[in-house]
Amino acid sequence: MRNTTSLTRNSLFRYLMRTGFFIAAFVLIASQAEAHIRWLIKGKQIPDNVHFIFDGMTVVILVCVLLFAISAALIHMYRTNPLLEPMEKMAASYKNIGWRIICILSGVMLIGNVWTGVYLAPNMMFENQIMYWFGVIAQLLIAALLIFQVSFSISGVLIIVGGVVALFAFPFDLVIDYLFEFVLLGVCLIILGPKLTGVDKFLAIKLDWNTDKYQHLPLPLIRIAVGISLIVLALHNKLMDPAISVVFLEEYPVNFINNMGFESFTNLHFVFFAGVLELTLGGLILAGIATRYVAGFLSIFFIVTLIQFGLMELLGHAPLIGIAILLVIMGSGSLKEPERTGLKFESEVGTPREALPQS
């Protein structure tokens, strides 16, 4: 029995290695997918006559992405694979550090926003002077609360309020790219606060709000936020309006397949590939399928975009990088309230809480 199990694991390992080489090209393609395109083409004229054409190349693209999805499904089936076991052990000791890192990165992003004169994202800027200073003060206040770990719950409330303000102050098609991410991050911080900071614990006691039964929710909620955000970005910036991405590629020639001499792989094909892949990544993360595997590739994509596009991508993607690392280590989480068994995570300002191992 042991030899059979070992053989199965070795076979799966070899399969994953071959799949890894196949998907390596996805890293370069998806690096464009993960860049917030609208940040980098502000002021550019967008044509309105760009449409996808279904041809043999699009069939090849769909097959490649389907193979990637199948590989994720297979990994999801083999949850006890040795490649994932170290992550299970790390999750037991990672505890709340990941959330603290996300908060620090979010604070750094907000300070970067103030420095560059934008509100929440590089393509949202207040023209009204009063609103501009509101954005400066609000972002600096939230950044201070997050970086110095004063209060996560208050920060969460302010982030949600900031997202609502953006919804009324900017066009909906601009805010939709970030709305789910900001709102659900705010909800997660509100829930986590009483377990991470003394100020939030004090507020929870005063408000008679027991968060113990909700402590399992932040991890799956932030996973859902990332999944929805990727799906929205794929549809909004690529599949439903490919012209935006085509203009981006004319400005930033990152279509490496075409650059290698495959002239039949046009910028439009590249946009289709990036959009379908991003849509697939978002769907897999949203469904909690092979979360560590998918989030691992997502982390690589963020690093590649950072190398390609520099400081703007770093500031804008800083929280997402932290979230991707959290998902790699902790897994998908579950919306169901955990039973009183499994891994134990101690609250840093209260009594121990329990959670099931995540996959």
Burial of 198 (0-12, 13-18, 19+ CB in 10 A): middle
User: What is the per-residue pLDDT for 321?
Assistant: 86
Is the pLDDT assigned to residue 22 strictly greater than 90? no
**Tens digit of pLDDT for each residue in 232-246?**
989 988 899 898 888
pLDDT for residue 169: 94
Give residue 313's pLDDT.
61
Q: What's the rounded Cα separation, in Å, for the pair 67 and 57?
A: 15
For 100-110, write each residue's pLDDT tens digit.
999 999 999 99
Dihedral of CA atoms 106, 112, 114, 115 in degrees, nearest 10, equals: 170
* 304 vs 238 pLDDT, higher one: 238
pLDDT for position 323? 93
Q: Report pLDDT for 309.
A: 67
At residue 211, what is the residue type? T
Q: What is the pLDDT of residue 129?
A: 94
The predicted model gives 111-135 an average pLDDT of 92
| pLDDT higher than threshold 70 for residue 23 | no
Flag whether pLDDT at 10 surpasses 80: no
Average pLDDT over residues 163-168: 95
Contact 201, 349 (CB under 8 A): yes
User: What local confidence, expressed as pLDDT, does residue 347 receive?
Assistant: 57
Region 127-140 average pLDDT: 95
Give me the half-sphere count of Cα atoms (radius 13 Å) on the Cβ side of residue 70: 9
Residue type, 26: F
Q: Which CB contacts under 8 angstroms, 24+ apart, belong to 312-316?
A: 312/39, 312/40, 312/122, 313/35, 313/36, 313/39, 315/108, 315/109, 315/112, 315/113, 315/116, 315/122, 316/36, 316/39, 316/109, 316/121, 316/122
Flag whether pLDDT at 356 surpasses 60: no
- Map out the domains of the chain as residue ranges: 27-77+97-354
CB count, 10 Å around CB of 73? Answer: 13
pLDDT of residue 170: 93
More confident residue, 154 or 357: 154
Q: How confident is the model at residue 26 (pLDDT cuts 50, 70, 90)?
A: very low
- pTM, two decimals, is 0.81
Indicate if the pLDDT at residue 143 is higher than 90.
Answer: yes
Q: How confident is the model at residue 355 (pLDDT cuts 50, 70, 90)?
A: very low
Average pLDDT, the chain: 81
Q: End-to-end distance of the chain based on CA atoms, in angstroms?
A: 25
Q: Is the pLDDT of residue 31 over 50?
A: no
Give me the pLDDT at residue 224, please.
96
Nearest to 44 by CA among 187, 248, 309, 236: 248
Confidence of residue 39 (pLDDT cuts 50, 70, 90): low
What is the pLDDT, as a whole number, of residue 95? 65
Bridge partners of 344?
354
What is the pLDDT, as a whole number, of residue 104?
A: 95
pLDDT band at residue 135, thresholds of 50, 70 and 90? very high
What average pLDDT score do residues 209-215 get?
90
Average pLDDT over every residue of 113-141: 93
Return the pLDDT at 34.
Answer: 45
Q: What are residue 352's phi and psi, to 5 degrees?
A: -60, 150
Alpha-carbon dihedral sign for residues 344, 345, 346, 351: negative
Residue 76 or 8, more confident: 76
Provide the 8-state DSSP code for 350: S
Share of the chain above pLDDT 70, in %: 74
Residue owning tokens 């709340």: 96
pLDDT over threshold 60, residue 28: no
Give the pLDDT confidence score for residue 92 in this predicted structure: 63
